[in-house]
Amino acid sequence: MASSVPVSRRRILTVAAAGGLVAATGSWRAVAARAATVAGSAPRLAVDPFALGVASGDPGADGVVLWTRLTQDPAAVAGGMPPVDVPVRWMVARDEGMRRIVAGGRVAATPEAAHSVRVVVEGLEPDRPYWYRFVVGDHETPVARTRTFPAANRRADRLDFAVTSCQNYRDGYYNAWADVAADEDLDAVLFLGDYIYESGEGMGAVRAHPIAEVVTLDEYRARYALYRGDANLQAAHAVAPWLVVWDDHEVDNNYQGTSPEVGSPTSDPAAFLARRAAAYRAWWEHMPTRLAPPTGPDLPIHRRADFGRLARFHLLDTRQYRSNQPCAPANDVGPVCAEARGPDLTVLGDAQERWLDAGLRSSGASWDLLGQQVTFSQLAFSPGPDGVRNLDQWDGYPDARRRMIDAWRRAGIKNPVVLTGDIHANIVGDVTADFDDPQAPHVGTELVGTSISSSAPAVLQQVLTDVVGRSPHLRWADATARGWLRATVTPEVLQADYRTVDDNRVEGSPLRTARSFVVESGGSVTEA
């Protein structure tokens, strides 16, 4: 019923005789060797090993991925765990009381994966909720909710999902996650990147990063453990399956392909690739995906998920394969120069472009939802085709953007909707065939969702207000509030409700729906 990593009995060592793992002195290896007599049972873990919560993700019609990671001291190297495999039991039920178990098994949490586990559960029924938990010894997780999606060829009447991104721990409390977690009608949570921030120690507006800028695998793991320790984030993972992609801060601010941020502590190319390998590895260890583990500095993460015939999610990666930023690599913002034009510049890379093309052509969905990172539509900081733009966004790669729009039109998809994170602002607009021509036909929609907690510079609001004023394709832009975007999709209409936090520096601050927009199938986006 489920494929899971078999637990190697030979490698399971019982260390309970040492008198509790946390109190043990000396190396774990010595402790384990002393007690290596009983195979097949878990070491006795003195501390609840589930401090990082659970998660589910990459839902399909017949299954879903379950995730957890064991720790004894989340901030410590290796999460304070002994360097031995630990058997973890998992179970899936049709009911929240966990009485009607339909799948279960045992999986090894290994030191190589920082004692994270991923279980690909198969053989479930399509389009229904399930509940799950993990157990190690006397410790068990709370029961969490997930669901399967309707089969790709089946009718589906309604999809409710969250669009989320950018959860800088230093900048604010995760009130937005508490709001997501309270929404039991969500079928999925789309997370568009900046799950962690790599930046160094010190206080932000609210909370602290305890260690310097993270570079090594152990440091990235500790940063994920810090973030995953938050109860509101854990609650949001426990309410619905997630569809997760990364952005830049999972590695290094504004990196592109193999090029680090200017001024990065890993500016040497080999050092940056080693860092990217560590960062991708730690991301893989902490996300509930079906992806195979990375090999070195590479990890293809683009993938699809179908919600019946109603919606197809195309999850894109605009960081790993893109050409280095043209025109002004030391600065995001500058005028579009000749270097930005030309067929060689890419955002997705050739292979991902071809894969997306195929996925659009084979799509029979009412809505094609393109989950990706950087703003797709033109944001003209000054007027004219060569005006000032944020060159880290698609504005720095206008011919690559043109190829994407051409692909939509060639594929004849009904409703392309670009869903975007990264910029810590809410932005709503039409995608048009030519952003510099007010008469150009509408070809799609872009909905940019603000950050969960990451702050935006105060100047950004005035900049965006000016941009909207000179851009007929844009309806609204707001950089002043944190929150998330709640989307509801039916065959006829997409509705976007922008949920915003009153004051993100206050724990428990409430959210409200700031603005709502609708897209009728084939039409422009309008305020509801």
By the criterion CB under 5 A, which residues form the site for Ca ion? 194, 247-248, 422
CB of residue 193 vs Ca ion: minimum separation in angstroms?
Answer: 6
CB of residue 483 vs Ca ion: minimum separation in angstroms?
Answer: 17
- Residue closer to Ca ion, measured from CB, 187 or 422: 422
CB of residue 175 vs Ca ion: minimum separation in angstroms?
Answer: 21
- Residue closer to Ca ion, measured from CB, 7 or 423: 423
The entry of Ca ion, Fe ion, none near residue 250 (CB within 5 to 8 angstroms by kind) is none
CB of residue 407 vs Ca ion: minimum separation in angstroms?
Answer: 24
* CB within 8 Å of 457: residues ≥ 6 apart: none
* CB within 8 Å of 203: residues ≥ 6 apart: 170
Which secondary-structure segment (H or E) carries 426? Answer: strand 426-432
- Residue closer to Ca ion, measured from CB, 148 or 375: 375
The CA distance from 441 to 524, in Å, is: 10
CB of residue 141 vs Fe ion: minimum separation in angstroms?
Answer: 29
- 276, 216, 271: which is closest to 248 by C-alpha? 276
Which secondary-structure segment (H or E) carries 519? Answer: strand 511-520
- Residue closer to Ca ion, measured from CB, 81 or 348: 348
- Residue closer to Ca ion, measured from CB, 124 or 456: 456
- Residue closer to Fe ion, measured from CB, 194 or 198: 194
CB of residue 451 vs Fe ion: minimum separation in angstroms?
Answer: 6
* Alpha helices (H) in 307-429, listed in sequence order: 350-361, 398-411
- Residue closer to Fe ion, measured from CB, 42 or 166: 166
The dihedral region occupied by 110, where left means phi > 0, alpha psi between -120 and 50, and beta the remainder, is beta
The CA distance from 86 to 220, in Å, is: 22
Please state whether beta strands 188-191 and 159-164 pair in parallel, antiparallel, or not at all (unpaired). parallel
- Residue closer to Ca ion, measured from CB, 422 or 430: 422
CB of residue 436 vs Ca ion: minimum separation in angstroms?
Answer: 26
CB of residue 121 vs Ca ion: minimum separation in angstroms?
Answer: 32
The dihedral region occupied by 250, where left means phi > 0, alpha psi between -120 and 50, and beta the remainder, is alpha
User: What residue ranges bind Fe ion (CB under 5 A)?
Assistant: 166, 194, 454
The entry of Fe ion, Ca ion, none near residue 393 (CB within 5 to 8 angstroms by kind) is none
- Residue closer to Fe ion, measured from CB, 121 or 166: 166
* Alpha helices (H) in 113-228, listed in sequence order: 175-181, 217-228
The entry of Ca ion, Fe ion, none near residue 454 (CB within 5 to 8 angstroms by kind) is Fe ion
The CA distance from 62 to 130, in Å, is: 11
Around 426, how many Cα atoms within 13 Å sit in the side-chain half-sphere? Answer: 23
The dihedral region occupied by 366, where left means phi > 0, alpha psi between -120 and 50, and beta the remainder, is alpha
Q: Residue 373 in contact with residue 318, Cβ under 8 Å? A: yes
Please state whether beta strands 242-244 and 188-191 pair in parallel, antiparallel, or not at all (unpaired). parallel
- Residue closer to Ca ion, measured from CB, 230 or 248: 248
CB of residue 420 vs Fe ion: minimum separation in angstroms?
Answer: 11
Q: Residue 302 in contact with residue 352, Cβ under 8 Å? A: yes
CB of residue 247 vs Fe ion: minimum separation in angstroms?
Answer: 6
The CA distance from 491 to 471, in Å, is: 29
For 125-170, list the strands marked E by DSSP. Answer: 129-136, 139-140, 144-147, 159-164
The CA distance from 333 to 335, in Å, is: 7
The entry of Fe ion, Ca ion, none near residue 248 (CB within 5 to 8 angstroms by kind) is Ca ion
- Residue closer to Fe ion, measured from CB, 332 or 436: 332
* CB within 8 Å of 317: residues ≥ 6 apart: 245, 246, 300, 301, 302, 348, 352, 372, 373
CB of residue 13 vs Ca ion: minimum separation in angstroms?
Answer: 42
